[in-house]
Structure 1
């Protein structure tokens, strides 16, 4: 009985030429979407339970779903190097990595610009120097490592920019009005889900409330 062909999980199946230090570095850069999803959003949900971040993550999931729909509809092949990378069984247009990172970059930039949550406008320089270079490096890594053509990564980046801006508008112009209702729902109360986007300085607010609670607890013990 012939052995069935094996298929890799493309998001984590990253190869580079042995001995190529730049390729090694870009292979790790190519995994940034995984680090953001697992290390960023999951830890944020566990420790902060912010609705804005939940809808941010939901937008990224919807964006990737749209990416898969387009890929299966267009069915554009990856570059010829796909044979060495064992990725010829998946389609290449548009690049999902580029789409993910540019969606993340534009949404995060808009959150910072409009000072939503714990972000403030002073951090816009950090965003410009960290988030956008990571997005550009991820796009470049997919071409350098042979997973996509230049046209495929630019298509992914353009789609990510559009969907990121559109989703930000949908969330903060429409869905945000339902945040108080979600907070007061059974789900919100069980999981301590909250929205702090209406608080001008969340860090200061949390600090002052924590300090006030500590002082109050000290008085109670003294009694």
Structure 2
């Protein structure tokens, strides 16, 4: 007898769009930005072991939990022309990218205090940090707008999502500032689990590739100097 068990669809990357509309196709790709950012988070946490990035990811997950709760409290349906499932208020995409972009902006403009330039390192300038912040915020705007264009959300649902993401980002930034100020973060970094995974807190004063670059430059210069001596 044939198996008649109904199958479910894993809708993590399942996006409805108009195949005859290039802009709709572009918006469908924008819908994958949160998933892409999660990959970026995981890659950076594993490769750099920076506690600041781990804390930002923790805030991102708390923001997602807030969205999950709000949707089930408000229980507002999506636009009628949308065939998707689940509640629409607030937009999880808009909330996700609002948190990420604003958290990155707050870090670059207020927490990141790079060291003075050295022969082997030129830190990000203030204009560069402002430019990166602008790109992040513009990306958040595009993703949020795409949810309306694809009819996944109403403008109100997107605006509430942006507001919730903004509130979460500011609240988390202030909370982590207090954690740093009272010495709790330093205590956490001294504990066995964090030392086992070699967690560190350097990105607040240097870029992600600084430590490895200085080591490489030192090795390169030493090799060049030794080579000249043996000539």
TM-score, normalisation: structure 2: 0.81
> Given the alignment of the two structures, is residue 27 of structure 1 paired with residue 23 of structure 2, yes or no?
no
- Structure 1 residues 3 and 209, CA gap change in structure 2 (3 angstroms): closer
> Given the alignment of the two structures, is residue 82 of structure 1 paired with residue 82 of structure 2, yes or no?
yes
- Structure 1 residues 191 and 120, CA gap change in structure 2 (3 angstroms): farther
CA shift for structure 1 position 181 = 2.2
CA shift for structure 1 position 14 = 1.1
Match of 2:72 in 1: 72
Unaligned stretches of 5+ in structure 1? none
- Structure 1 residues 59 and 203, CA gap change in structure 2 (3 angstroms): same
> Given the alignment of the two structures, is residue 184 of structure 1 paired with residue 190 of structure 2, yes or no?
yes
Match of 1:135 in 2: 140
Match of 1:164 in 2: 169
- Structure 1 residues 170 and 160, CA gap change in structure 2 (3 angstroms): same
How many residues align? The count is 215
Please, which of 73, 96, 100 is the counterpart of residue 96 of structure 2? 100
- Structure 1 residues 37 and 120, CA gap change in structure 2 (3 angstroms): farther
- Once residues 17 and 88 of structure 2 are traced to their aligned partners in structure 1, the CA distance between those partners, rounded to angstroms, is 18
Write out per-residue CA displacement over residues 93-128 of structure 1, whole angstroms, 9 at most, x where no aligned residue.
000000010111111001110252776533233224
- Once residues 150 and 221 of structure 2 are traced to their aligned partners in structure 1, the CA distance between those partners, rounded to angstroms, is 57
State the secondary structure of the residue aligned to 1:135.
helix
Unaligned stretches of 5+ in structure 2? 115-123, 226-231
CA RMSD of aligned residues (A): 2.8
CA shift for structure 1 position 141 = 0.6
Q: Which moved more, 1:144-153 or 1:174-183?
A: 174-183
Tell me if the contact between 1:79 and 1:146 (Cα under 8 Å) persists in the aligned partners.
yes
Match of 1:196 in 2: 202
TM-score, normalisation: structure 1: 0.83
- Once residues 35 and 80 of structure 1 are traced to their aligned partners in structure 2, the CA distance between those partners, rounded to angstroms, is 28
- Once residues 202 and 44 of structure 1 are traced to their aligned partners in structure 2, the CA distance between those partners, rounded to angstroms, is 9
Match of 1:58 in 2: 58
- Once residues 117 and 16 of structure 1 are traced to their aligned partners in structure 2, the CA distance between those partners, rounded to angstroms, is 43
Tell me if the contact between 1:112 and 1:123 (Cα under 8 Å) persists in the aligned partners.
no
CA shift for structure 1 position 81 = 1.7
Match of 2:109 in 1: 113
- Structure 1 residues 185 and 216, CA gap change in structure 2 (3 angstroms): farther
Write out per-residue CA displacement over residues 19-76 of structure 1, whole angstroms, 9 at most, x where no aligned residue.
21101111111111111111x1111012101000000000000000010101001110
